[in-house]
Amino acid sequence: MDDVDHSKPALPVVPDKCGPPTISLNYLLDFAIQQIYHEITVLSELLPKKLDGDRKISLVQFAHSTRMLFVKLLAVVKWVKSSKKFESCAAICYLLDQQSQYFIETADRLVTISREELVMARLPAFQVTAAVDVLTQVFPISMMFFTSSHFFISKHWM
């Protein structure tokens, strides 16, 4: 039996600065708490001036917006549990970006070499008409006509 390794090639480790942008959960929680604190502070200043029905509506709206904010945070936390699947996608994108950069650098270097170092390494302009005259020695070039890959001699000269 062959001992051929059919495993997938290892993907490169994505550096922190090159992967997708991330925000720590601590920062998200801090932002949510600050937003709720701001809303409850504004609510505490405005509620005494409102009527009883408007107070109830404002409290329900505050409770609903707070609940929705924490539901979003819960969704993020649950998604993070399954985010390992997406780390391989980030590694693949990083690998493809690396390969793309290698192609660009290689093409740029080849252009630089051809323009600066290989200026004299050009093919000369070949004298095709003179070569045909020398090879045929009988027929002037005006009596021949060319197609894509063949040339023909006029029947007048045959």
- CA distance linking residue 73 with residue 55, whole number of Å: 27
**Distance spanning both ends of the chain, measured CA to CA:** 69
State the pTM of this model: 0.49
Amino acid type, 123: L
Which DSSP state fits 124? -
Bridge partners, 153 (sequence order): 144
Per residue of the chain (158 residues), give pLDDT as tens: 555 556 677 777 777 777 667 788 899 999 999 999 999 999 999 888 889 899 999 999 999 999 999 999 999 888 888 877 777 788 888 889 999 999 999 999 999 998 888 878 777 778 888 888 778 876 555 555 555 555 555 555 55
146: closest CA among 157, 156, 132, 158? 132
64: closest CA among 49, 80, 72, 88? 72
